[in-house]
Structure 1
Amino acid sequence: MTQWIVHYANACGQLDGWIERIGEGIAEARYRAEQVLPAIDLDVVVQVWPGCVVKEMGFVGYAPTGTMIQLTFDPDNENLSRNIGEPLERMVAHELHHVMRWRGPGYGTTLGEALVSEGLAGHFCRQLYDSPPELWEAEVSGKDLATCAEKAQLHWHDSRYHHGAWFSGQGDLPRWAGYRLGYALVGRYLDGHAGESAASLVHVPAERFLAYLGT
Protein backbone atom coordinates (compact mmCIF):
# COMPACT_ATOMS: atom_id res chain seq x y z
CA MET A 1 0.00 0.00 0.00
CA THR A 2 1.38 3.38 -0.97
CA GLN A 3 1.58 6.29 1.41
CA TRP A 4 2.05 10.04 1.44
CA ILE A 5 3.91 11.21 4.53
CA VAL A 6 3.24 14.88 5.25
CA HIS A 7 5.97 16.61 7.26
CA TYR A 8 4.85 19.82 8.94
CA ALA A 9 7.80 22.06 9.81
CA ASN A 10 6.01 23.80 12.66
CA ALA A 11 8.28 23.84 15.70
CA CYS A 12 7.61 27.58 16.09
CA GLY A 13 3.85 27.28 15.63
CA GLN A 14 3.64 29.33 12.46
CA LEU A 15 1.28 26.82 10.85
CA ASP A 16 -1.07 26.69 13.82
CA GLY A 17 -4.62 27.11 12.57
CA TRP A 18 -3.72 26.07 9.03
CA ILE A 19 -2.63 22.43 9.31
CA GLU A 20 -6.09 20.86 9.10
CA ARG A 21 -7.07 22.80 5.98
CA ILE A 22 -3.72 22.15 4.31
CA GLY A 23 -4.04 18.43 5.07
CA GLU A 24 -7.52 18.32 3.58
CA GLY A 25 -6.27 19.97 0.40
CA ILE A 26 -3.39 17.53 0.04
CA ALA A 27 -5.68 14.55 0.59
CA GLU A 28 -8.25 15.70 -1.96
CA ALA A 29 -5.62 16.38 -4.61
CA ARG A 30 -4.13 12.94 -4.00
CA TYR A 31 -7.52 11.26 -4.31
CA ARG A 32 -8.30 12.93 -7.62
CA ALA A 33 -4.85 12.30 -9.07
CA GLU A 34 -4.93 8.61 -8.21
CA GLN A 35 -8.02 8.19 -10.38
CA VAL A 36 -5.86 8.79 -13.47
CA LEU A 37 -2.25 8.17 -12.39
CA PRO A 38 -0.59 5.28 -10.55
CA ALA A 39 -0.46 5.61 -6.76
CA ILE A 40 3.05 6.33 -5.46
CA ASP A 41 4.89 6.83 -2.19
CA LEU A 42 5.62 10.51 -1.58
CA ASP A 43 7.02 12.86 1.03
CA VAL A 44 5.28 16.22 1.30
CA VAL A 45 7.18 18.91 3.22
CA VAL A 46 5.02 21.78 4.47
CA GLN A 47 6.91 24.85 5.60
CA VAL A 48 6.63 28.58 6.25
CA TRP A 49 8.83 31.07 4.42
CA PRO A 50 7.43 34.62 4.57
CA GLY A 51 7.72 36.50 1.30
CA CYS A 52 8.89 33.46 -0.69
CA VAL A 53 5.51 32.59 -2.17
CA VAL A 54 3.37 33.67 -5.11
CA LYS A 55 2.00 36.81 -3.53
CA GLU A 56 -1.36 36.50 -5.29
CA MET A 57 -1.84 33.05 -3.73
CA GLY A 58 -0.06 33.06 -0.36
CA PHE A 59 1.75 29.81 -1.14
CA VAL A 60 3.99 28.15 -3.70
CA GLY A 61 4.90 24.59 -4.61
CA TYR A 62 8.11 22.91 -5.75
CA ALA A 63 8.89 19.36 -6.83
CA PRO A 64 12.68 18.96 -6.86
CA THR A 65 12.71 15.18 -7.29
CA GLY A 66 10.52 12.20 -8.07
CA THR A 67 9.97 11.50 -4.38
CA MET A 68 9.11 14.84 -2.74
CA ILE A 69 6.92 17.93 -2.94
CA GLN A 70 7.65 21.09 -0.98
CA LEU A 71 4.71 23.35 -0.09
CA THR A 72 5.64 26.79 1.21
CA PHE A 73 3.18 29.11 2.94
CA ASP A 74 3.14 32.68 4.22
CA PRO A 75 0.48 32.88 6.97
CA ASP A 76 0.73 36.68 6.95
CA ASN A 77 -0.16 36.91 3.28
CA GLU A 78 -3.61 38.44 2.90
CA ASN A 79 -4.48 36.15 -0.02
CA LEU A 80 -3.77 32.85 1.72
CA SER A 81 -7.15 32.32 3.37
CA ARG A 82 -9.19 32.60 0.17
CA ASN A 83 -6.87 30.25 -1.73
CA ILE A 84 -6.50 27.49 0.83
CA GLY A 85 -9.28 25.39 -0.76
CA GLU A 86 -9.34 24.25 -4.37
CA PRO A 87 -6.51 26.57 -5.51
CA LEU A 88 -4.24 24.80 -3.01
CA GLU A 89 -5.42 21.41 -4.26
CA ARG A 90 -4.58 22.41 -7.82
CA MET A 91 -1.10 23.47 -6.75
CA VAL A 92 -0.55 20.06 -5.14
CA ALA A 93 -1.79 18.37 -8.33
CA HIS A 94 0.52 20.54 -10.45
CA GLU A 95 3.54 19.54 -8.38
CA LEU A 96 2.51 15.89 -8.34
CA HIS A 97 2.57 15.87 -12.13
CA HIS A 98 6.14 17.17 -11.95
CA VAL A 99 6.99 14.34 -9.54
CA MET A 100 5.62 11.79 -11.97
CA ARG A 101 7.50 13.38 -14.86
CA TRP A 102 10.72 13.20 -12.82
CA ARG A 103 10.13 9.44 -12.79
CA GLY A 104 10.21 9.42 -16.60
CA PRO A 105 12.13 11.89 -18.76
CA GLY A 106 12.61 14.32 -15.88
CA TYR A 107 11.61 17.96 -15.57
CA GLY A 108 14.20 18.77 -18.22
CA THR A 109 17.33 20.85 -18.67
CA THR A 110 16.40 22.82 -21.79
CA LEU A 111 13.89 25.63 -22.27
CA GLY A 112 11.65 23.43 -24.39
CA GLU A 113 11.59 20.67 -21.80
CA ALA A 114 10.71 23.15 -19.06
CA LEU A 115 7.90 24.66 -21.14
CA VAL A 116 6.41 21.23 -21.75
CA SER A 117 6.75 20.12 -18.12
CA GLU A 118 4.96 23.24 -16.89
CA GLY A 119 2.32 23.09 -19.60
CA LEU A 120 1.51 19.46 -18.89
CA ALA A 121 1.28 20.13 -15.15
CA GLY A 122 -1.10 23.01 -15.81
CA HIS A 123 -3.33 20.90 -18.00
CA PHE A 124 -3.25 18.11 -15.43
CA CYS A 125 -5.00 20.50 -13.04
CA ARG A 126 -7.53 21.27 -15.75
CA GLN A 127 -8.05 17.53 -16.29
CA LEU A 128 -8.75 16.92 -12.60
CA TYR A 129 -10.73 20.06 -11.78
CA ASP A 130 -12.14 21.28 -15.11
CA SER A 131 -10.56 24.59 -14.12
CA PRO A 132 -9.60 27.60 -16.23
CA PRO A 133 -5.92 28.54 -16.65
CA GLU A 134 -4.23 29.77 -13.50
CA LEU A 135 -3.27 33.43 -13.29
CA TRP A 136 0.29 32.67 -14.42
CA GLU A 137 -1.00 30.60 -17.34
CA ALA A 138 -3.21 33.37 -18.73
CA GLU A 139 -1.33 36.57 -17.89
CA VAL A 140 0.62 36.99 -21.16
CA SER A 141 -1.28 37.29 -24.44
CA GLY A 142 -1.43 38.95 -27.83
CA LYS A 143 1.71 40.50 -29.27
CA ASP A 144 3.72 39.83 -26.11
CA LEU A 145 2.95 36.12 -26.27
CA ALA A 146 3.79 35.96 -29.97
CA THR A 147 7.15 37.64 -29.35
CA CYS A 148 7.93 35.20 -26.53
CA ALA A 149 6.99 32.26 -28.76
CA GLU A 150 9.43 33.43 -31.41
CA LYS A 151 12.20 33.64 -28.82
CA ALA A 152 11.31 30.23 -27.43
CA GLN A 153 11.47 28.74 -30.92
CA LEU A 154 15.06 29.96 -31.22
CA HIS A 155 16.09 28.76 -27.77
CA TRP A 156 14.02 25.55 -27.50
CA HIS A 157 17.11 23.31 -27.17
CA ASP A 158 19.07 25.78 -25.02
CA SER A 159 20.25 24.18 -21.76
CA ARG A 160 21.70 27.50 -20.58
CA TYR A 161 18.41 29.36 -20.64
CA HIS A 162 17.57 31.65 -17.71
CA HIS A 163 14.72 29.90 -15.89
CA GLY A 164 13.90 32.91 -13.74
CA ALA A 165 13.64 35.16 -16.78
CA TRP A 166 11.23 32.82 -18.57
CA PHE A 167 9.09 31.82 -15.60
CA SER A 168 9.39 34.56 -12.95
CA GLY A 169 9.97 37.82 -14.81
CA GLN A 170 13.59 38.15 -13.74
CA GLY A 171 14.63 39.88 -16.94
CA ASP A 172 13.15 41.55 -20.01
CA LEU A 173 10.44 38.94 -20.61
CA PRO A 174 6.92 39.36 -19.23
CA ARG A 175 6.34 37.76 -15.84
CA TRP A 176 5.20 34.13 -16.23
CA ALA A 177 5.83 34.05 -19.99
CA GLY A 178 7.10 30.47 -19.80
CA TYR A 179 4.02 29.22 -17.95
CA ARG A 180 1.71 30.84 -20.50
CA LEU A 181 3.66 29.47 -23.46
CA GLY A 182 3.79 25.98 -22.00
CA TYR A 183 0.10 25.94 -21.21
CA ALA A 184 -0.76 27.20 -24.68
CA LEU A 185 1.38 24.74 -26.62
CA VAL A 186 0.18 21.73 -24.64
CA GLY A 187 -3.38 22.96 -25.10
CA ARG A 188 -2.94 23.10 -28.87
CA TYR A 189 -1.51 19.59 -28.86
CA LEU A 190 -4.45 18.25 -26.84
CA ASP A 191 -6.94 19.97 -29.13
CA GLY A 192 -5.60 17.89 -32.01
CA HIS A 193 -5.26 14.58 -30.16
CA ALA A 194 -8.57 13.40 -28.80
CA GLY A 195 -8.25 10.68 -26.21
CA GLU A 196 -4.90 11.90 -24.87
CA SER A 197 -4.52 13.83 -21.63
CA ALA A 198 -1.92 15.41 -19.38
CA ALA A 199 -1.97 12.18 -17.38
CA SER A 200 -1.39 9.92 -20.38
CA LEU A 201 1.37 12.24 -21.66
CA VAL A 202 3.27 12.45 -18.38
CA HIS A 203 6.34 10.65 -19.76
CA VAL A 204 6.22 11.85 -23.36
CA PRO A 205 9.41 13.61 -24.58
CA ALA A 206 9.20 17.36 -25.06
CA GLU A 207 10.07 17.17 -28.76
CA ARG A 208 6.59 15.93 -29.57
CA PHE A 209 5.23 19.37 -28.66
CA LEU A 210 7.65 21.63 -30.52
CA ALA A 211 5.44 21.98 -33.58
CA TYR A 212 2.69 23.43 -31.39
CA LEU A 213 4.69 26.36 -30.04
CA GLY A 214 3.42 28.95 -32.52
CA THR A 215 0.66 31.28 -31.33
Structure 2
Amino acid sequence: MEHTIGCALIKIGEFLEVSNIDITVSPFQTGEESPSGLGGYALSEHRVELLVDSSRDDIAEIIKTELLEVLAHELHHAVRLSFHMPTGTLSQQLIMEGLACHFENLVTNGKPSSLFKELDNYDWRNGLEQMSHLLDTKDFSLDKLFLGSHPDEFPKYAGYWIGYNLVAEYAKDHNATDAEMMKLEPSCFLNDKVKAAC
Protein backbone atom coordinates (compact mmCIF):
# COMPACT_ATOMS: atom_id res chain seq x y z
CA MET A 1 0.00 0.00 0.00
CA GLU A 2 2.73 2.50 0.94
CA HIS A 3 4.67 1.77 -2.23
CA THR A 4 1.60 2.10 -4.45
CA ILE A 5 0.55 5.35 -2.79
CA GLY A 6 4.07 6.70 -3.23
CA CYS A 7 4.08 5.87 -6.94
CA ALA A 8 0.59 7.35 -7.33
CA LEU A 9 1.65 10.58 -5.64
CA ILE A 10 4.53 10.99 -8.07
CA LYS A 11 2.11 10.68 -10.98
CA ILE A 12 -0.57 12.93 -9.45
CA GLY A 13 2.09 15.44 -8.44
CA GLU A 14 2.81 16.07 -12.13
CA PHE A 15 -0.54 17.86 -12.25
CA LEU A 16 -1.43 18.96 -8.70
CA GLU A 17 0.45 20.30 -5.71
CA VAL A 18 -0.48 17.78 -3.02
CA SER A 19 2.49 17.89 -0.64
CA ASN A 20 0.40 19.62 2.07
CA ILE A 21 -2.34 16.95 2.06
CA ASP A 22 -2.22 14.12 4.61
CA ILE A 23 -3.38 10.68 3.44
CA THR A 24 -4.69 8.18 5.94
CA VAL A 25 -5.83 4.61 5.27
CA SER A 26 -8.60 2.77 7.13
CA PRO A 27 -10.70 -0.35 6.63
CA PHE A 28 -14.32 0.04 5.58
CA GLN A 29 -16.85 -0.28 8.36
CA THR A 30 -18.53 -3.69 8.22
CA GLY A 31 -21.44 -3.59 5.80
CA GLU A 32 -20.27 -0.42 4.05
CA GLU A 33 -17.63 -1.97 1.79
CA SER A 34 -17.41 -0.72 -1.79
CA PRO A 35 -17.93 -3.37 -4.48
CA SER A 36 -14.60 -2.28 -5.94
CA GLY A 37 -12.72 -2.90 -2.70
CA LEU A 38 -11.46 0.69 -2.47
CA GLY A 39 -13.04 4.02 -1.64
CA GLY A 40 -12.23 7.35 -0.12
CA TYR A 41 -13.19 10.78 1.12
CA ALA A 42 -11.67 14.22 0.97
CA LEU A 43 -12.24 15.26 4.56
CA SER A 44 -10.79 18.73 4.05
CA GLU A 45 -8.33 20.59 1.85
CA HIS A 46 -5.58 19.05 4.01
CA ARG A 47 -6.71 15.43 4.49
CA VAL A 48 -7.81 12.49 2.36
CA GLU A 49 -8.97 9.18 3.80
CA LEU A 50 -8.60 6.00 1.73
CA LEU A 51 -10.83 3.07 2.62
CA VAL A 52 -9.78 -0.53 1.95
CA ASP A 53 -11.71 -3.80 2.11
CA SER A 54 -8.83 -5.74 3.64
CA SER A 55 -10.94 -8.91 3.94
CA ARG A 56 -10.82 -9.51 0.17
CA ASP A 57 -8.40 -12.12 -1.16
CA ASP A 58 -7.74 -9.97 -4.24
CA ILE A 59 -7.15 -6.69 -2.42
CA ALA A 60 -3.43 -6.57 -3.27
CA GLU A 61 -4.22 -6.71 -6.99
CA ILE A 62 -7.02 -4.15 -6.60
CA ILE A 63 -4.61 -1.77 -4.89
CA LYS A 64 -2.15 -2.14 -7.76
CA THR A 65 -4.73 -1.57 -10.49
CA GLU A 66 -7.29 0.82 -8.95
CA LEU A 67 -5.60 2.91 -6.25
CA LEU A 68 -4.25 5.57 -8.62
CA GLU A 69 -7.69 6.57 -9.86
CA VAL A 70 -9.25 6.55 -6.39
CA LEU A 71 -6.44 8.64 -4.90
CA ALA A 72 -6.42 11.06 -7.85
CA HIS A 73 -10.17 11.56 -7.44
CA GLU A 74 -10.00 12.31 -3.72
CA LEU A 75 -6.90 14.50 -3.93
CA HIS A 76 -8.61 16.54 -6.65
CA HIS A 77 -11.53 17.10 -4.27
CA ALA A 78 -9.14 18.24 -1.55
CA VAL A 79 -7.35 20.70 -3.80
CA ARG A 80 -10.65 22.09 -5.12
CA LEU A 81 -11.80 22.57 -1.53
CA SER A 82 -8.79 24.85 -1.04
CA PHE A 83 -10.46 27.28 -3.47
CA HIS A 84 -13.46 27.38 -1.09
CA MET A 85 -15.92 26.23 -3.72
CA PRO A 86 -19.40 25.53 -2.32
CA THR A 87 -20.50 21.89 -2.47
CA GLY A 88 -24.05 21.88 -1.10
CA THR A 89 -26.35 22.01 -4.13
CA LEU A 90 -26.85 19.30 -6.70
CA SER A 91 -25.20 21.35 -9.45
CA GLN A 92 -22.18 21.93 -7.21
CA GLN A 93 -21.96 18.19 -6.44
CA LEU A 94 -22.30 17.21 -10.11
CA ILE A 95 -19.43 19.47 -11.12
CA MET A 96 -17.22 18.60 -8.16
CA GLU A 97 -17.54 14.89 -8.95
CA GLY A 98 -17.31 15.49 -12.70
CA LEU A 99 -14.06 17.41 -12.33
CA ALA A 100 -12.55 14.69 -10.15
CA CYS A 101 -13.60 11.96 -12.62
CA HIS A 102 -12.14 13.98 -15.49
CA PHE A 103 -8.89 14.35 -13.57
CA GLU A 104 -8.78 10.58 -12.98
CA ASN A 105 -8.94 10.16 -16.74
CA LEU A 106 -5.98 12.51 -17.20
CA VAL A 107 -3.82 10.86 -14.54
CA THR A 108 -4.54 7.31 -15.75
CA ASN A 109 -3.78 8.20 -19.39
CA GLY A 110 -7.38 7.78 -20.49
CA LYS A 111 -8.26 4.60 -18.60
CA PRO A 112 -12.08 4.49 -18.29
CA SER A 113 -13.21 5.10 -14.72
CA SER A 114 -14.34 1.97 -12.91
CA LEU A 115 -17.50 3.92 -12.00
CA PHE A 116 -18.61 4.02 -15.62
CA LYS A 117 -18.42 0.34 -16.61
CA GLU A 118 -22.22 0.03 -16.83
CA LEU A 119 -22.97 3.52 -18.17
CA ASP A 120 -21.75 3.56 -21.78
CA ASN A 121 -25.32 3.48 -23.09
CA TYR A 122 -26.81 5.85 -20.50
CA ASP A 123 -28.01 9.13 -22.03
CA TRP A 124 -26.43 11.66 -19.68
CA ARG A 125 -28.26 14.60 -21.27
CA ASN A 126 -31.58 12.95 -20.54
CA GLY A 127 -30.42 12.24 -16.98
CA LEU A 128 -29.45 15.89 -16.54
CA GLU A 129 -32.88 16.95 -17.80
CA GLN A 130 -34.51 14.64 -15.24
CA MET A 131 -32.43 16.28 -12.49
CA SER A 132 -32.81 19.86 -13.76
CA HIS A 133 -35.51 20.87 -11.24
CA LEU A 134 -33.12 19.96 -8.40
CA LEU A 135 -29.93 21.63 -9.62
CA ASP A 136 -30.13 24.66 -7.33
CA THR A 137 -31.33 22.87 -4.23
CA LYS A 138 -29.56 21.13 -1.38
CA ASP A 139 -32.61 18.94 -0.92
CA PHE A 140 -31.67 15.99 -3.09
CA SER A 141 -30.80 12.35 -2.49
CA LEU A 142 -27.13 11.54 -2.99
CA ASP A 143 -28.00 7.85 -2.67
CA LYS A 144 -30.57 8.10 -5.46
CA LEU A 145 -28.75 10.35 -7.93
CA PHE A 146 -25.17 9.18 -7.40
CA LEU A 147 -25.18 5.80 -5.68
CA GLY A 148 -28.03 3.97 -7.39
CA SER A 149 -30.51 3.41 -4.55
CA HIS A 150 -33.40 3.80 -7.08
CA PRO A 151 -32.02 2.10 -10.23
CA ASP A 152 -35.44 2.26 -11.91
CA GLU A 153 -35.01 6.07 -12.00
CA PHE A 154 -31.23 6.59 -12.15
CA PRO A 155 -28.55 3.95 -12.69
CA LYS A 156 -25.74 3.60 -10.19
CA TYR A 157 -23.18 6.42 -10.54
CA ALA A 158 -25.46 8.47 -12.85
CA GLY A 159 -24.49 11.72 -11.12
CA TYR A 160 -20.79 11.03 -11.62
CA TRP A 161 -21.35 10.24 -15.31
CA ILE A 162 -23.43 13.39 -15.89
CA GLY A 163 -20.85 15.55 -14.12
CA TYR A 164 -17.99 13.96 -16.03
CA ASN A 165 -19.67 14.60 -19.38
CA LEU A 166 -20.46 18.22 -18.49
CA VAL A 167 -16.81 18.78 -17.65
CA ALA A 168 -15.53 16.88 -20.70
CA GLU A 169 -17.80 18.92 -22.97
CA TYR A 170 -16.62 22.18 -21.41
CA ALA A 171 -12.97 21.12 -21.73
CA LYS A 172 -13.45 20.33 -25.41
CA ASP A 173 -15.42 23.48 -26.23
CA HIS A 174 -13.00 25.80 -24.41
CA ASN A 175 -9.75 23.87 -24.84
CA ALA A 176 -9.48 24.02 -21.05
CA THR A 177 -7.08 22.05 -18.88
CA ASP A 178 -7.98 20.31 -15.63
CA ALA A 179 -5.91 22.88 -13.74
CA GLU A 180 -7.87 25.74 -15.31
CA MET A 181 -11.25 24.12 -14.73
CA MET A 182 -10.56 23.36 -11.09
CA LYS A 183 -10.98 27.05 -10.23
CA LEU A 184 -14.26 27.57 -12.14
CA GLU A 185 -17.67 27.99 -10.59
CA PRO A 186 -20.18 25.19 -11.32
CA SER A 187 -22.32 27.61 -13.32
CA CYS A 188 -19.59 27.76 -15.98
CA PHE A 189 -20.33 24.15 -16.87
CA LEU A 190 -24.11 24.31 -16.65
CA ASN A 191 -25.29 27.65 -17.99
CA ASP A 192 -24.67 28.54 -21.63
CA LYS A 193 -24.83 32.28 -20.94
CA VAL A 194 -22.36 31.98 -18.09
CA LYS A 195 -20.11 29.68 -20.13
CA ALA A 196 -19.32 32.50 -22.52
CA ALA A 197 -18.17 34.70 -19.66
CA CYS A 198 -15.95 32.11 -17.97
Question: TM-score interval w.r.t. the shorter chain?
Answer: 0.7 to 0.9
Name the structure 1 match of 2:46.
67
Q: Give 1:29 deviation, angstroms.
A: 2.1
Distance 1:77 1:147, change over 3 A: farther
CA distance in 2, matches of 1:84, 1:75: 10
**Structure 1 residue corresponding to 2:171, chosen from 185, 190, 199:** 190
Distance 1:79 1:144, change over 3 A: farther
CA distance in 1, matches of 2:117, 2:137: 24
Q: Contact 2:76–2:103 (CA<8 Å) still a contact in 1? A: yes
Name the structure 2 match of 1:112.
91
Name the structure 2 match of 1:135.
114
Name the structure 1 match of 2:182.
202
Structure 1 residue ranges (4+ consecutive) displaced by more than 6 angstroms after TM superposition: none
Distance 1:143 1:41, change over 3 A: closer
Unaligned ranges ≥5, structure 2: 193-198
Q: Give 1:144 deviation, angstroms.
A: 5.3
Q: Give 1:78 deviation, angstroms.
A: 4.7
Name the structure 2 match of 1:147.
126
Q: Contact 1:139–1:180 (CA<8 Å) still a contact in 2? A: no
**Structure 2 residue corresponding to 1:53, chosen from 33, 43, 47:** 33
Q: Give 1:53 deviation, angstroms.
A: 2.9
Distance 1:144 1:47, change over 3 A: same
- 1:168 paired with 2:147, answer yes
Q: Give 1:59 deviation, angstroms.
A: 1.2
**Structure 2 residue corresponding to 1:180, chosen from 156, 161, 178:** 161
Q: Give 1:75 deviation, angstroms.
A: 1.6
* Aligned-partner residue type, residue 161 of structure 2: R
Q: Secondary structure at the match of 1:168?
A: coil
Q: Normalised by the size of structure 2, how large is the TM-score?
A: 0.85
Q: Contact 1:112–1:152 (CA<8 Å) still a contact in 2? A: no
Q: Give 1:105 deviation, angstroms.
A: 3.3
CA distance in 2, matches of 1:91, 1:164: 19
Unaligned ranges ≥5, structure 1: 1-21
Q: Give 1:37 deviation, angstroms.
A: 2.0
Q: Give 1:115 deviation, angstroms.
A: 0.7
Q: Contact 1:98–1:121 (CA<8 Å) still a contact in 2? A: yes
Q: Secondary structure at the match of 2:15?
A: coil
Q: Give 1:133 deviation, angstroms.
A: 2.6
* Aligned-partner residue type, residue 125 of structure 1: E
CA distance in 2, matches of 1:74, 1:132: 23
Q: Secondary structure at the match of 1:85?
A: helix
CA distance in 1, matches of 2:171, 2:123: 23
After superposition, where does 1:31-46 map in structure 2 within 5 Å? Answer: 31-46=10-25
* Aligned-partner residue type, residue 23 of structure 1: E
* Identity across the alignment (%): 26
Q: Contact 1:61–1:71 (CA<8 Å) still a contact in 2? A: yes
CA distance in 2, matches of 1:182, 1:174: 14
Q: Give 1:204 deviation, angstroms.
A: 1.1
Q: Give 1:147 deviation, angstroms.
A: 3.4
* Aligned-partner residue type, residue 175 of structure 1: K
